[in-house]
């Protein structure tokens, strides 16, 4: 797309737009001359409310893309389908896997998608499930499964496929949206469980565009060891990224560090934040 606007619809915190609400989750609307994409849907408590407060008509959204199968990115799909009609939904086939966060105490919390595939299809979700990098609108791509190449992005050790915490969950379904703009690539991230640097390198390789203008969304750096944050800062500096817009699982402490490291480039991307390119 030659020009785009990304608006954060669901996020843990809100900005100055009157009457908007926060929730633990993420959703963003991409609008451009080639169409519009809703990327993630939050938990389901704030998507429709915040879209209305920001005068965004989600009935007109061309398609939905889901970054991965966690509830805080997929739970809003049901209210979206109920209120805004049937939608094409792009995702990885593993979004329906069982998912748990297992605490140090042994307590396990189910964190997977709260509805099964047949139910969502019955409610109007026209799923297109693929593991591959693909173009979903002109100049707009989904990364598909991201190869894990860096040594320092090891994933969140508290995430499991079973409630007893025996089988680690590598989140193979985690993917990001990549938009080709005149200024370079813009990457829109859900939780980026695949690792921010892994995701950036995969996007550069698959598009053949080496310039990265912006990253926006959840980085999961808030759940990573300090060494990973430091290595990520070095990689971002080497890439010369112009906008680093942290949301959701980036967390307060890592956001503060990124602001200190990148005072001109870092912006907290909460509900109502817009990025244009």
Query: How many chain residues are in contact with Fe ion, going by CB under 5 A?
Result: 3
In the bound state with Fe ion, the residue whose beta carbon lies nearer, of 1 and 171, is: 171
In the bound state with Fe ion, the residue whose beta carbon lies nearer, of 112 and 184, is: 112
The only residue of 53, 70, 99, 243 in contact with Fe ion, by rule CB under 5 A: 70
Measured CA to CA, the distance from residue 198 to residue 188 in angstroms comes to 14
In the bound state with Fe ion, the residue whose beta carbon lies nearer, of 70 and 243, is: 70
Closest residue to Fe ion, based on beta-carbon distance: 191
Grouping H, G, I as helix, E, B as strand and the rest as coil, residue 121 is helix
Query: Quick one: which segment of 4-12, 140-148, 191-199, 253-261 binds Fe ion (CB under 5 A)?
Result: 191-199
Residues between 104 and 163 that touch Fe ion (CB under 5 A): none
Do 243 and 275 form a contact (C-beta atoms < 8 A)? yes
Return the ∠ at Cα 31 (arms to 127 and 53), rounded to 5°.
95
Q: Least Å distance between CB 40 and Fe ion?
A: 8
Kindly state whether residue 257 participates in binding Fe ion, applying the rule CB under 5 A. no
| Residue 111 neighbours by CB distance under 10 Å | 17
Residues between 198 and 217 that touch Fe ion (CB under 5 A): none
272 CB-near residues (< 8 Å, 6+ apart): 7, 8, 14, 15, 16, 17, 20, 50, 54
Query: Quick one: which segment of 57-65, 67-75, 223-231, 235-243 binds Fe ion (CB under 5 A)?
Result: 67-75
Measured CA to CA, the distance from residue 165 to residue 103 in angstroms comes to 9
In the bound state with Fe ion, the residue whose beta carbon lies nearer, of 58 and 159, is: 159
In the bound state with Fe ion, the residue whose beta carbon lies nearer, of 6 and 113, is: 113
177, containing H or E segment: strand 177-181
Measured CA to CA, the distance from residue 237 to residue 86 in angstroms comes to 42
In the bound state with Fe ion, the residue whose beta carbon lies nearer, of 174 and 265, is: 174
Kindly state whether residue 191 participates in binding Fe ion, applying the rule CB under 5 A. yes
Query: How does strand 125-129 pair with strand 159-160?
Result: unpaired
Q: Least Å distance between CB 181 and Fe ion?
A: 25
- Residues engaged in binding Fe ion (CB under 5 A): 70, 72, 191
């Amino acid at each position: 797309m030659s020009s785009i606007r990304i608006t954060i619809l669901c996020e843990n915190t809100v900005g100055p737009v009157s009457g908007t609400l926060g929730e633990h989750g993420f959703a963003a609307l991409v609008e451009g001359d080639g169409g519009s994409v809703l990327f993630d849907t939050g938990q389901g408590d704030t998507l429709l409310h915040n879209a209305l407060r920001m005068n965004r008509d989600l009935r007109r959204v061309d398609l939905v893309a889901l970054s991965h199968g966690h509830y805080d990115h997929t739970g809003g799909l049901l209210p979206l389908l109920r209120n805004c009609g049937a939608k094409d939904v792009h995702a990885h086939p593993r979004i329906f896997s069982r998912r748990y966060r297992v605490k140090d105490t042994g307590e396990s919390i189910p964190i997977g998608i709260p509805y099964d595939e047949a139910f969502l299809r019955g409610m109007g979700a026209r799923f297109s499930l693929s593991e591959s990098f693909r173009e979903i609108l002109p100049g707009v791509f989904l990364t598909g499964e991201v190869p894990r190449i860096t040594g320092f992005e090891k994933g969140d050790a508290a995430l499991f496929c079973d409630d007893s915490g025996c089988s680690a969950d590598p989140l193979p379904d985690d993917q990001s949206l990549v938009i080709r703009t005149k200024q370079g690539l813009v990457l829109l991230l859900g939780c980026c469980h695949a690792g921010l640097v892994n995701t950036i390198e995969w996007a550069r390789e698959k598009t053949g565009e080496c310039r990265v203008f912006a990253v926006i969304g959840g980085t999961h750096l808030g759940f990573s060891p300090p060494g990973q944050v430091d290595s990520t800062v070095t990689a971002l500096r080497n890439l010369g990224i112009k906008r680093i817009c942290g949301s959701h699982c980036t967390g307060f402490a890592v956001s503060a560090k990124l602001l200190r490291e990148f005072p001109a480039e870092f912006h907290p991307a909460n509900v109502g934040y817009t990025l244009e390119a």
